[in-house]
Amino acid sequence: MTMRIVFTLGLLAATAWAGPLKFEPGDVDFGTKGQNLRLEAEVKLTNTTGKELQVLSVSSDCSCTAGEPKAKTLAPGASTTMPVAMETRSYQGAITRRLTVFTSAGSDELRVKVMIRAFENWEVVPMPLMMPSSMRSQEASTVVSANYLGAENITVLGATTDRAWLRAEHNVEAGRKGGSVVLRKLVTAPAGPQQAQVFLKTNDPKNPQLALKVFVPVVSAAKVAPNPIILPTVKAGTAAVREVTVSGWEEATPPEAKLALGSVEAKGRQPNGDYVFTVTLTPTAAGMSTQMLQLADASSVLIEVPVILKAEAK
């Protein structure tokens, strides 16, 4: 008796989960694609309920994916098509989205899958691209490989960056598709979590230039306290003031402090060698704001520290 009851309940559960629609194909798989593309496919929807079916709506778990059946009323056994669109945007890796089709007899879920690379026929290693952490006064380097996955003899022709303190040295490799580049961080790089763009020139008609974002963590012997600099909460129109210290400054000249909005006043140097500054910022409206306090020597910015302020309404 017990076994028969369990079996019956299991059968009922399976029946309850059966959806009203049959999708052909069962999943949409776009394969491997590049970023910032619009992908399109078409799915066949068939009414499996044995009675007339109304398609009420289609929802998605991401705004990057959408679908809309061409017919909203389906007779028993009738079918319609549903165009499906997906935007790859700046996503990367294996992505699965879900479209839920709501009907008068329940709902069904369609999975939409894609493997996204930064560039459709290129594999860049490592990704994400991050250089090893290094002291500001030391050089650091890393190798970036750009492997072309197509059948053609496509290669990397050269490389440049958008930062004077980051060099890109192209390795010429005869007979190899794709190529590699050595990124070299110079001692002039400012301290902090820096970012740069690396541009690889190729003979690929689809991607004549590969633009890559590289993260460059740079550590300075000098330290700013507090870090981040959180100013006291004030009302809009009222000045927020906080004192900060700079320790371990190794440069020959005292630090030059810069703040785009507000002011920084040098208060002198303490007996232990620390430099003292007063940061003043007057908000014009309520809300949160963040900007960077920069400490520089005579030639370049060496340290960047966030300055955070919360202002209340008057």
How far is the CA of 213 from the CAs of 35, 131, 161, 183, 292, in angstroms? 14, 11, 10, 12, 21
From the CB of residue 245, how many other CB atoms can be counted at a distance below 10 Å?
15
Binning pLDDT at 50, 70 and 90, where does residue 84 land?
A: very high
**What pLDDT was estimated at residue 11?**
40
Per residue in 141-196, pLDDT (tens digit) is 999 999 999 999 999 999 999 999 999 999 988 888 999 999 999 988 887 789 99
**What pLDDT was estimated at residue 2?**
42
Q: What is the rounded CA–CA span in Å between residue 25 and residue 45?
A: 9
Contact between 218 and 194 under an 8 Å Cβ cutoff? The reply is yes
Q: Is the pLDDT of residue 218 over 50?
A: yes
Q: Which domains does the chain have, with CATH numbers?
A: 18-116 (2.60.40.10), 122-219 (2.60.40.10), 223-312 (2.60.40.10)
Backbone angles phi, psi at 72, to 5 degrees: -105, -15
pTM over 0.85: no
Q: What is the rounded CA–CA span in Å between residue 229 and residue 294?
A: 12
Q: Is the pLDDT of residue 312 over 90?
A: yes
Per residue in 21-41, pLDDT (tens digit) is 999 999 999 998 888 899 999
Contact between 1 and 53 under an 8 Å Cβ cutoff? The reply is no
**What pLDDT was estimated at residue 18?**
65
Q: Which amino acid is at 286?
A: A
Nearest to 103 by CA among 126, 80, 73, 133: 73
